[in-house]
């Protein structure tokens, strides 16, 4: 597809998604969203670098990104995957130096990009968009609360089951060792658990 078509298709999905957060009708919503800048990023692009102060935040229209950090001992840990209709924002405490995470694109992606330094001016210019963004951030925070609570509660096998139910597309879109890291287990455990679950599934089908 050409970029203009990709842009149009991404915009259609964005309109469908944001509708529930606003009292604007579809025509007004489209007119407003036409002013919102959208960018294309190639697979592998690093959007935020660990140790640097983030200057931008993102909302994914199409694509997939990974949040990860490397600790003092050089271990890389994946702490989130973001896909369509999710935000990428490192909310640093005001006095914090740099981002504790990097975020990179796992796929070619189309995103809405916000400049953090201008966000207050932007919010004044597009108050309806500010309201939509605020609700999306709150919804993202709700999901983060849920993910964390379930992570504490569940055994590794239950975590894999939950992911199969809640975000099955990640198994296709994401390298398995990164998925394992996010689930707090080794890549070997992940494939063992998947095999066992597939076997149980086969027995159910029989």
List interacting residues with its own copies (CB under 8 A). Answer: 20-21, 67, 69, 71, 75, 77-80, 90-96, 100-101, 134-135, 137-139, 141-149, 151-153, 181-182, 184
Between CA 20 and CA 18 the distance in angstroms is: 6
Our CB check for its own copies shows the closer of 9 and 22 to be 22
Between CA 102 and CA 44 the distance in angstroms is: 12
Between CA 173 and CA 167 the distance in angstroms is: 10
Our CB check for its own copies shows the closer of 4 and 74 to be 74
Our CB check for its own copies shows the closer of 27 and 75 to be 75
To its own copies, the closest distance from the beta carbon of 206 in angstroms equals: 27
Between CA 21 and CA 95 the distance in angstroms is: 32
To its own copies, the closest distance from the beta carbon of 197 in angstroms equals: 19
To its own copies, the closest distance from the beta carbon of 1 in angstroms equals: 31
To its own copies, the closest distance from the beta carbon of 116 in angstroms equals: 11
Our CB check for its own copies shows the closer of 79 and 191 to be 79
Between CA 186 and CA 4 the distance in angstroms is: 42
CA distances, 61 to each of 10, 86, 114, 188, 195 (Å): 6, 8, 13, 33, 33
């Amino acid at each position: 597809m050409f970029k203009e078509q990709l842009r149009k298709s991404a915009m259609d999905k964005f309109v469908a998604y944001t509708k529930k957060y606003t009292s604007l009708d579809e025509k007004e919503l489209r007119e407003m969203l036409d002013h919102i800048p959208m960018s294309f990023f190639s697979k592998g692009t690093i959007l935020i670098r660990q140790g640097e102060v983030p200057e931008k935040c993102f909302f994914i229209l199409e694509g997939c990104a990974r949040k990860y950090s490397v600790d003092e001992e050089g271990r890389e840990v994946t702490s989130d995957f973001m896909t369509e209709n999710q935000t990428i924002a490192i909310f640093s405490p005001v006095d914090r130096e740099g981002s504790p995470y990097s975020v990179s694109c796992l796929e070619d992606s189309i995103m809405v990009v916000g400049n953090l330094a201008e966000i207050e001016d932007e919010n004044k210019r597009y108050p309806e968009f500010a309201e939509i963004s605020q609700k999306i951030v709150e919804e993202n925070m709700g999901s983060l609360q849920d993910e964390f609570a379930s992570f504490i509660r569940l055994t590794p096998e239950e975590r894999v089951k939950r992911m199969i139910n809640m975000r099955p597309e990640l198994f296709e879109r994401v390298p398995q060792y990164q998925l394992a890291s996010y689930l707090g287990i080794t890549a070997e455990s992940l494939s063992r658990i998947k095999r066992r679950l597939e076997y149980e599934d086969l027995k159910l089908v029989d």
